[in-house]
Amino acid sequence: MKKVAIMVDSTCCLPQELIDQYEIHLLPIHILYEDKSYRDRIDISHGEVYKIMRKKENLPTTSTPSPGDFLDAYRQLSEKAENIFCITVTALQSKTFEAASLAKQIAAELFPKTHIEVFDSRAVAGALGFITLEAAKAASHGASLDKVTEIAKSIRDKVNALFMLDTLYYLARTGRIARAAAWAGKLLNLKPVLEHSPAIGETTPVARPRNRENAIKLMLKIMTERVKNSRVHAMVHHADDLAEGQKLMKEIGSRFDCAELYITEFTPGMGVHTGPGLLGITFYKD
């Protein structure tokens, strides 16, 4: 039996091969579309969600996993591990942490021998992914629950997340990121750059370039200033724009000393608010 099993919600943006390699249990969020609920990455792919969104009609929404979803996952993992380390997307932008914590209380009565730690990553997308990945690497080498928690906290303190929106249309529609939504008005052609900081657990606007080229240059400039000459762990995200994502990945690979470099589709958990065409970079330095 393993010492620690790792689980995370599907907003983490980790490539499937890493999820498989490190035996990470992925709990899907729900995509709601035309009165039906689809499990993210199981019943519907990221690409399918964004293709629906490009029509700008009957737009999908999302809902968090229920406490029952978490409880079922805890029950499965309790048969394989002594402890469970459950990592969630930032609690300030989702009720996922709340649902996971409620399920933990119920699990304590149903299978009390299994210790469950619910960890608010205060992060999103690949930043959440990197926290999860390092926790899973430690668990795969037999680390204790305390050690896994310590490592997750250390990565949370270092990880950065930058995103360029292709349009303000979707953000203006939902108003999810208040200060950025205020940019909308008649300026839907902007390519705003947003940052999510685990230090505060929130997503905030950085700048509002008028074209993609300048937005990408700004993200790379910020990354360069923060990484300097250190080795970097990086992940590129795209929302239904693989070609542009690959170009950005190639640029990062040529500019930086990358210990790890991945490309993934951006999570619809945030993408329903930010829209297709988004490009993002999540990273931290050694």
Average the pLDDT over 160-167 and give the result: 94
Enclosing H/E stretch for 259: strand 258-265
Structural domain contains residue 57 = no
Structural domain contains residue 74 = yes
Q: Do 119 and 186 belong to one domain?
A: no
The residue with greater pLDDT, 198 or 220, is: 220
Q: Measured between alpha carbons, how far is 69 from 243 in angstroms, rounded to an integer?
A: 35
Enclosing H/E stretch for 62: strand 61-63
Q: Which of 156, 179, 202 represents a domain boundary (last residue)? A: 156
Q: Do 91 and 172 belong to one domain?
A: no
Q: Measured between alpha carbons, how far is 242 from 190 in angstroms, rounded to an integer?
A: 21
pLDDT tens, 89-114?
A: 999 989 999 999 999 999 999 999 99
Q: Do 149 and 164 belong to one domain?
A: no
Coil, helix or strand at residue 93 = coil
- Residue 277's alpha-carbon distances to 124, 129, 202, in angstroms, are 18, 21, 22
Q: Do 120 and 225 belong to one domain?
A: no
157: its two tokens: 């303190």
Structural domain contains residue 251 = yes
| pLDDT at 272 (0 to 100) | 87
Q: Do 132 and 183 belong to one domain?
A: no
280: its two tokens: 């993002």
Cβ-based neighbours of 243, under 8 Å, separated by 6 or more: none
Q: Measured between alpha carbons, how far is 196 from 171 in angstroms, rounded to an integer?
A: 15
DSSP secondary-structure letter at 64? Answer: P
Structural domain contains residue 37 = no
Cβ-based neighbours of 143, under 8 Å, separated by 6 or more: 3, 4, 151
Q: Which of 123, 156, 189 represents a domain boundary (last residue)? A: 156
Average the pLDDT over 55-69 and give the result: 92
Q: Do 175 and 273 belong to one domain?
A: yes
Q: Do 83 and 180 belong to one domain?
A: no
Structural domain contains residue 7 = yes
Q: Do 236 and 101 belong to one domain?
A: no
Q: Which of 89, 124, 156 represents a domain boundary (last residue)? A: 156
Average the pLDDT over 260-282 and give the result: 93
**What spatial distance separates the first Cα and last Cα of the chain, rounded to whole Å?**
32
Average the pLDDT over 216-221 and give the result: 98
Residue 183 — pLDDT band, cuts 50, 70, 90?
A: low
Q: Do 104 and 194 belong to one domain?
A: no
| Alpha helices for the chain (secondary structure H) | 16-21, 46-54, 67-78, 96-110, 125-140, 145-156, 169-174, 178-181, 212-227, 242-255, 268-274
| pLDDT at 169 (0 to 100) | 80
Q: Answer whether residue 243 shows pLDDT above 60.
A: yes
Domain count, the chain: 2
Calculate the CA 3 to chain-centre distance: 25
Structural domain contains residue 246 = yes
Residue 205 — pLDDT band, cuts 50, 70, 90?
A: confident
Bridge-based pairing of strands 2-9 and 25-27 is parallel
Enclosing H/E stretch for 8: strand 2-9
Coil, helix or strand at residue 233 = strand
Calculate the CA 167 to chain-centre distance: 20
Q: Answer whether residue 44 shows pLDDT above 90.
A: yes
Average the pLDDT over 150-154 and give the result: 98
Does pTM top 0.85 for this prediction?
Answer: yes
| pLDDT at 190 (0 to 100) | 82
Q: Answer whether residue 123 shows pLDDT above 80.
A: yes
CATH at 202: 3.30.1180.10
**Residue 95: which domain range?**
2-29+64-156
| pLDDT at 114 (0 to 100) | 97
Structural domain contains residue 178 = yes
Q: Do 216 and 251 belong to one domain?
A: yes
Q: Measured between alpha carbons, how far is 167 from 49 in angstroms, rounded to an integer?
A: 17
Residue 185 — pLDDT band, cuts 50, 70, 90?
A: very low
| Chain position carrying tokens 């080795």 | 231
15: its two tokens: 């490539």
Contact of 40 with 28, CB cutoff 8 Å = yes
Q: Is residue 202 packed enough to be buried (19+ CB in 10 Å), middle (13-18) or exposed (0-12)?
A: middle
Structural domain contains residue 16 = yes
Q: Answer whether residue 68 shows pLDDT above 50.
A: yes
CATH at 118: 3.40.50.10440
Q: Do 116 and 145 belong to one domain?
A: yes
Coil, helix or strand at residue 106 = helix
Residue 202 sits at the vertex; the CA angle it makes with 258 and 148, to the nearest 5 degrees, is 55
Q: Do 142 and 211 belong to one domain?
A: no
* Mean pLDDT for all residues in the chain: 92
